[in-house]
Structures are given as C-alpha cells and as structure tokens.
Chain A
Amino acid sequence: MTALNASIHILLALLLPPVLLGVINKTKAAIGGRVGPPVLQAWFDIIKLMHKGSVFSTTTTWVFRAGPVVGFVTAVGAALFVPLGNHAPPLSFTGDLVLFAYLLGLGRFFTIAAALDTGSAFEGMGGAREATFSSLAEPALFFSMLVLARMSGSLSLGSMLGPAVGGMWSAAGASLVLVVVSLFIVLLAENCRIPFDDPNTHLELTMIHEVMVLDHSGPAFGLILWGAAVKLFVFGALVVRIVMPFDGDPWAGWGIFIAGQLAVAVTVGLVESVMARLRLLQIPSLLVAACLLSAFGIILLAR
C-alpha cells in the first residue's frame, strides 16, 4: 500500500502541475470572454520543447546548464515531503520542513546563478529582483510553518499537514486563516503570478522570473517550465491540505486533493483577472504584509 501511495504521489506531482497552468489560463480566458488555449497546452509546450535542439551561448559555463536541471529536481524533491490527500508523503523525517524550504531555495539559487552566468543585463536584473523578493517571501513561509509546527507539535511536514489539521481548525481557526492567506500570497510571489509578475508578458524590462530564463532553449527550457509548474503545485498542496483537511476514505482523499488543487488554480486565475500588477517598488510591502499575517498567527497561538 505504501508503495502504491508513493507511486500515485510521484505521478501526481509530475503529471498534474502543467494541467494547473492550463486551468489558470482557461479561467483567465473565460473571464476575458475568450476561448483560451486547451487545458493541456502547457503539456503540449513541454513535449514540443523536449523534441527541440538547444542553443548554448559560448560565454556560458556548466552553471548555465545546471540551472534548469537543479530547478526541476529540487521542485520535485520538495514535492516528496508534502502530504497529498490523506496519505503520508513518500519521504518524511523530523525537521524536514527546513530541507523543504531550502530545496526550493537551492533551486532558486541555481536559477539565479544560471541567469548571472549569461552576463546579460536583463538576466542580471531579473536575478536581483528574484533574490530581493524571495528573501522577503521566505520569512512568511517560515512563520506559517511555525504556526503549523506549534499546533501539531511536530517538525515534519507529513504530520504538520497530516490528519491533525482538521483538529487545528477547531482549536485555532483564526491562526490558520492568517496562515492560508499568507501562504497564498507566497504562492503568488514564488510562482511569479500577478500581482507580483506577469507570466504572459513579453516586456523583458518588467519581468522577474521569465527574464532569468530568456537564454534557455529546447529541453532545458522545457524543464524550466515543468519545474516552475511543480513549484506551483507544491505551494498549492500546502494551501489545499490546510483548507481541505480530509481524513476519510484514502481514495476519496486523492480525488478531493486534486479538486482542491484545481480550485487553487481557478482562484489564481480569478486573482489575475481582476487586478493589475503591482509597481515593482510596492512588491516588498505586500510580502512584508504576508510575513506579518503569519506572525500574527503565531501571536494568536501564544496568547
């Protein structure tokens, strides 16, 4: 049973993420009165890119090639620590939340390093923005984790987001609401969604994440797209497990988890449809607000 669950977990973490991108785009298209690309478009793009050749600038080194690979592997690695549905994650140990956070950090580090490796003014600018904003998003993530850790009395994501969450809602619902909002803001920031970044823009001067990967092509770029989708999936999983802490039938658990992820994608699509991007200068304020929200969550617990 464990092996079966682990297989489903891994398959889900690999196959579902690009579909979420499709759902976001479908939502945006529906609100804009358009038909929009097919839900599987991100998959089509990734498959297409995997069949293409790559171009590597002669000024780049191995760091440039390592960026997409490390970014993808770390995102998938992080996904192995998060429970999806009513099941223990494939990997779990006490304190794994730190590894979880820094797996994502490692991926980010390599993405930025690969961007700097090109020596392009654009990519350096994107790297600087990514480093600045993620350093503000990280405390928000950790404060949220602290709330969950204190309530569950565990330092492992498996039990923090496991069956215990249902009980937490009745014990300290207010803290959890704050954590959910904070995590959702971090989700938007870490995955370069509006209001932080516009994943659809072609304007390189306004980009944060996209501008760092301008020089990647072919399979490497496909891996980047896939890895970014997995990262969205991972943050979505955190939110889904808190909002929908289902602990009944294991098979229904998978179904409810998938439905929850699709709901998160629709919510992201709605947010992107009703508001404009923030001015770059104001992004730190929103991230600090996310930190404060989760910090208040801790204060509410400690009273």
Chain B
Amino acid sequence: MSLTTQFATLYNGVAAPRSLLPRLDFAAFRENILQGVARDWRVAALFALPAPGGHDLVAILAADDDGLMHALRTAVTGDSFPSLTAECPQLHLFEREIAELWGLKPEGHPWLKPVRFQKPLRPGLDLTPPRPGVVDWYQVKGDEIHEVAVGPVHAGVIEPGAFRFQCHGEHVFHLEISLGYQHRGVERAMLHGPLKRHIHLMETLAGDTTVGHTTAYCQNMEALGNGRAPARAHALRGIALELERLANHTGDLGALAGDVGFLPTMSFCGRLRGDWLNLTAQLCGSRFGRGMIRPGGVGFDAEPGRTYDMALKVEAALKDVSGAAELLWNTPSVMARFEDTGLVTRQTAEELGLVGPAARACGIERDARCNFPSGIWQFAQIPAATWTSGDVFARAWVRWLEIQRSAGFIREQLHSLPAGPVRAACGPPAADRIVVSLVEGWRGEICHVALTDGEGKFAAYKVVDPSFHNWTGLAMALRDQQISDFPLCNKSFNLSYCGHDL
C-alpha cells in the first residue's frame, strides 16, 4: 500500500477543495494514521462532522520534518467505530470528544469518560450530559492509599478544574484531571458562520493567547476568502505574537520562583510581565492584544516614532528579565527544586503528542514557527529552543531560551518593518474548502481547521488548543512524584482551562 496517494497534502494556512480529501474505508483510515504516527507524524486534529448517511471522521496529521499536513477522512455509518487509542495514545481525548459531541462510540476505548460535559452537537441525539466532575474516577485500592481531591475551586485566582490524586503517603501513584467547567460552546457557535462577532470569540478562546488564536483564525479566513495580508501586517502580527510569548514566559518564570518560595525573581518577573503587556498595549491599545489581529491584516499600524520607542523598551525589559532569570539559575536551592521534578520522558511526550515548551523540554524539536512557517515566519527564522531533561528545570529553561530569541526577533522586526498598508480586503469564504492553520502560540501549537459547505458557511470549525494535547502530559509528569510538588509541576506546564474547554 502506497501511503502518499492516500492523503490530501495541505500546507499551513492554504485552502484546498474538500473534494481532495480521500474518503477511505475505516481499515485504510486506521492503517494510514497508525503508519503516519509510526513515522513521527502527529495527530494535530481528529474530529467528526455530519455527512450524508452518517458522519465523516477527518484526521489532520502534521509532519514536523517536511512541514506538510496530511488530511484524510472516513465515513462512519453506525453509532460506533473501532477505537485507535490503544495503539495511538495521542488520540484518546479526540475520540472521547467525538463520542461526547456526536454519540459515536469508540469501541474499545480504555478511558471513555466525558471531556467537557457538553450537550451533543448531533441533532436528535438528546443526551443530558452529567454535571462537570461527575465521572467514574480512577481509584487505587489498598489500606494505606488515600485520595486527595483538589478543586474545582482553587485557592488562587485561577480557572476551575478538578484534580484527583491517588496517594500512598506523599507519593503520587496517579493523578486524574477532569475539566469542562469553562465550556462555552465556541465550536457550536462557529457553525454556519462566519459572523462578525466570531473574531471576538477567537480573541477570548484563551484570554492569555489572544494573538495566537486570532492569528490562526485570520489565516483561515484569508485562505478561504482569498485575501492576502500585506507584508507589514505579517511583521506586526509576528511582533504581537512574540510579545504575548514574552509576557507569559516571563510571568511563568516568576510564578515558578514563587511556587518554590523564591521571592526576588517572583517580584521582578511579576512587574516585568506588565512591561511586556504594556508594549502590546502600545501597539494596539490592549494589553492582551485584543483588536490587533484582523482578517486581511492588523487593526493598528505603528508609525516610526512608536517602533523606535518600543525597541528601546524591549531592550530595557530584556535586560531586567535577564537579571531576574540569572538570579534563578544561580540559586542552588531553586535548582535543587527544579531539577528532576515532574519528569516526562521523550517517549511519553512523543506518544502523547505533546506540543510547545513541554515537548521541547523533552528534546523534541517541535515548533510551528520552524516546522510549519506561515506569515512572517517564512522570512524570519527562530530556531526551536530545546532541552533534554524533561523536568521542571527544562520547561523553565526552554522558556528562558525563547524569551531571548523572541526579544531578538522583535528587535529585528521593529528596525526593518516593511513599508506599505497593514490591511487588505478579505472576501467571504469560498465554498467547499478545507483549510488548516498552525500557529505556535506561547503555550504551543494552536490548530484551527475550517471546512466550508456549498454556500461558503462553516460546516465545521475545529479548534485545538495546545492545552488539549498537554493536560495528559501533566498527569504523567506527576507519576511517582511527591504530591507537594504538584503546584510546581502544574506551573511548569501552565495550561489553559478555557482553551481546553472551549
């Protein structure tokens, strides 16, 4: 069986006719996914949508080595399909999501529980989902085993999510995470779009990743509507995206320091995160980049005086962050806490399809800016920052490497912004198209898939936040660790609840 002929090859942010998607029988679909994963492709998205006579399953496989995406689909006629999770663990949440939304049961799924406790999308399927958190928790039995339930309401001002630890003394055997409290029904609201207000849904998919998600959405809209964002707009988008990364990575370094009770870096980084956010505000008036990214370009231009001023502020902020970070690496008591805590092996990371700093901290060179360049990344290169130890230290260190590279990128771009307009016209979406956008947000790869119907309306709009891949990574990081190290591990991943819950 020749593999290449069975896939539709897609490029990041380029639309293709839906008819290109091969409709395979299930055995071939399954075989192709398994073989693709065996050659280091990843499942960027797997979702279902209604089709005549049943449902279609669409899988998007991303090949990090050559920057291509491979799409394939199969038809499911009944109410179930054989699960692939046992052979390909990174599919587990996708299959649970399909079961929840469309009532299609993945037969043989080892961990079939609700994902978001949401109502099904399938018309006529009247299932009342259980209340969030009401699941059949995994339990370890034994005289000295105890269970610790944390959340869904937490001590800090953070989002809700339920955690259940199976412990023997301080030793954690297993952590189970149950989310869904933040579910708002974004994908449901996107159906039959695009509507004018959808851009605002994208901006608030995960509030701390406004630029990342909006860029992916706008890239899709431009591909479908045949709009070409001008070069200056691409550069400004890149600057906004990297400012978002800088703010969050800096905040994370500070929060990691705070979790081990190391005050100096915590205090400095708390302030410096604000400096990066203020730079974003200087660009577009919003500290979180709302209103910046728009279909066809960007909402705000930056005149030379402003870019000069911003470049100075970037230098100053980077200098301060360097000081705060160096303090962290040079304090033995901090390093003693970071090293060998929350280990994720490279093999686990690959099997689970982790993305972002969590994957790069395991030595995997996976960065959509390098592997799937679109927009400004086709011209400017940022090398993927990796480290090999897979512990809390590695995740912190990768962030620090990325801070330096992102600041360098912004400096470069601010000094050499292309001339010209910042926004071009973007038409309505073409009919019967599929487009996939991959954007490296600060948390990892953001994947947006849009399929249009015969009238150019969204037949499906699938959003995969990096947190969707990575929450299971956190659960694995806690295996055989001390329960008191959970907050530190959690912070080193710093995943989004609402990005997962959509």
A residues near B (Cβ < 8 Å) are 28, 31-34, 121-122, 124-125, 128-129, 194-195, 198, 200-206, 272-282
Contacts and interface: CB of A to CB of B under 8 A. Distances in A.
A32 B267 contact: yes
A28 B169 CA distance: 33
Interface string B302-341: 0000000000000000000000000000010110110001
B482 A204 contact: no
A272 B261 contact: yes
Given A129-B170, A276-B260, A280-B170, 8 more contacts: A31-B263, A33-B267, A125-B483, A203-B487, A204-B150, A276-B262, A277-B260, A280-B485
B82 interface: no
B333 A124 contact: no
B479 interface: no
Contacts of A129: 170
B52 to A, nearest CB: 52
Given A28-B263, A203-B259, A276 B484 contact: no
27 contacts: A32-B266, A33-B268, A121-B147, A122-B148, A124-B146, A125-B483, A194-B261, A195-B261, A195-B333, A201-B259, A201-B261, A202-B155, A202-B156, A203-B259, A205-B148, A205-B483, A205-B487, A272-B261, A274-B331, A276-B260, A276-B261, A276-B336, A276-B337, A277-B337, A280-B482, A280-B485, A281-B482
What's the interface size class on B, roughly? 20 to 34
Interface in B267-304: 267-268
A205 B484 contact: yes
Nearest to A277: B261
A282 B332 CA distance: 14
Contact of A276 (B334, B483, B485, B487): B334
B261 A198 contact: yes
Contacts of A280: 170, 482, 484-485
Contact of A279 (B169, B257, B263, B341): B341
B379 to A, nearest CB: 40
Nearest to B332: A275
B16 to A, nearest CB: 48
A21 B379 CA distance: 56
B264 interface: yes
Contact of B149 (A121, A124, A206, A278): A121
B411 to A, nearest CB: 26
A28 B266 CA distance: 12
Interface of B: 146-150, 155-156, 169-170, 257, 259-264, 266-268, 331, 333-334, 336-337, 341, 482-488
A190 B332 CA distance: 24
A302 B487 CA distance: 47
A276 B331 contact: yes
Contacts of A124: 146
Contact of B263 (A203, A273, A281): A273
B248 to A, nearest CB: 20
Contacts of A34: 267
Of the candidates A34, A205, A277, A281, the one having the most CB atoms from chain B within 10 angstroms of its own CB is: A205
Contacts of B147: 121
B337 A279 contact: yes
Nearest to A214: B155
B309 to A, nearest CB: 25
Nearest to B155: A202
Contacts of A273: 263-264
The 10 closest A-B pairs by CB, nearest first: A32-B267, A276-B260, A203-B487, A198-B261, A276-B262, A277-B261, A202-B155, A275-B333, A276-B333, A276-B334
A278 B146 CA distance: 24
B275 to A, nearest CB: 14
Contacts of A28: 263
B341 to A, nearest CB: 7
Contacts of B264: 31-32, 273-274
Nearest to B266: A32
A125 B148 contact: yes
B116 to A, nearest CB: 25
A279 B261 CA distance: 11
Nearest to B267: A32
Nearest to A280: B484
A115 to B, nearest CB: 14
A82 B167 CA distance: 42
A62 to B, nearest CB: 25
Nearest to B256: A276
B337 to A, nearest CB: 6
Contacts of A278: 333, 336-337
Contact of A203 (B148, B155, B267, B341): B155
